[in-house]
Amino acid sequence: MRYVLLALLGLVAGAWVGFEFRGEPVPEDPIRVIVTELKTQAVIEHERHIAVWYRACPEVTGVNPLMFVAWPAKLSYELPLDDVAITRNGTILSVRTAALRVDEPTVPTDTLDYVSTEPILNLVNEAELVSSEMKKASSVARYLSAYYLKRDETLYEDMTEQLRALIQRIGSAVDAGITQVDVDIPRPDPKLPPVPALELCDGTLAAVNGLAFAKNESGHVVPVAFQTKMLESGAGVAKPAAAAVIYGVEEETRKKQ
């Protein structure tokens, strides 16, 4: 009985000593919390709404028709957050991510508009001409997706601001000492694919949101560089946003009436 009492007293004493001398819980590392939350988010998505229009003069048997073609599209990009590296220097966080990814663009073929002349001296099936132009729309949208990824500064600026705002929201909840977030998104310089083979009329241009991106030069379709960022002086072109209005169809229709 004596040994049982001694054992019980030993257990009680050990429990009391452990309770009195237990340390404070180790605080969670704010960087680890932020990285975990970012991985939970997985990606940041961004979209560009564009409108493309051009004049096509396809080769047919007889007199070539003239077509005015216009269609909208949505270009989509992703910033993956599953491989984010964060370092801290005082109150400043430095964040480096993986490169942006390009998603397959969305081209709603049911909203393609066109106006076509109808020469008497040809053997043309207008439905086939329209179907041919619709098939080219996806390749044109892919080309423009790659172009914006390579040349559009505002795309990276928007992604940077979205990620910075997200990290600041998470950081303010776990560590009020974070005052600045610097984001570095890699900017690879891939080679642009060839401009799609549109059958543009002689001396005409293909435009996206009013900016020429291709032209017919001596019977060959060649790319045209265009600016997507506002100039410091205020001149220039605003970044692509919201669904663009398609101009020109009504004007072409009026000319034919």
Strands (E), the chain: 43-56, 67-80, 85-89, 92-96, 101-102, 113-116, 180-184, 205-208, 211-217, 220-223
What Rg, from alpha-carbon coordinates, does the chain have? 30
Let me know if residue 107 belongs to a domain: yes
**SS3 (DSSP) at 89:** strand
Let me know if residue 209 belongs to a domain: yes
pLDDT (tens digit, 9 = 90+) per residue, 34-91?
Answer: 888 888 877 888 898 999 999 988 877 767 778 888 899 999 999 998 888 888 888 8
Please determine, for residue 257, whether its predicted confidence score (pLDDT) is greater than 80.
no
Let me know if residue 92 belongs to a domain: yes
- CB of 248 within 8 A of CB of 53? yes
Please determine, for residue 248, whether its predicted confidence score (pLDDT) is greater than 50.
no
**Whole-number Å distance between alpha carbons of 218 and 204:** 11
AA letter at 88: R
The total number of structural domains that make up the chain: 1
134 band by pLDDT with thresholds 50, 70 and 90: confident
Let me know if residue 6 belongs to a domain: no
Let me know if residue 2 belongs to a domain: no
pLDDT (tens digit, 9 = 90+) per residue, 203-213?
Answer: 899 999 999 99
Domain containing 79 equals 28-256
Let me know if residue 120 belongs to a domain: yes
Q: Are strands 113-116 and 67-80 parallel, antiparallel or unpaired?
A: antiparallel
Q: Which residues of 34-47 are buried (b: 16+ CB within 10 A; e: fewer)?
A: bbebbeeeeebebe
Please determine, for residue 163, whether its predicted confidence score (pLDDT) is greater than 70.
yes
Let me know if residue 237 belongs to a domain: yes
pTM, entire model:
0.73
Q: In the block, which residue shows the tokens 């086939």?
A: 128
Let me know if residue 213 belongs to a domain: yes
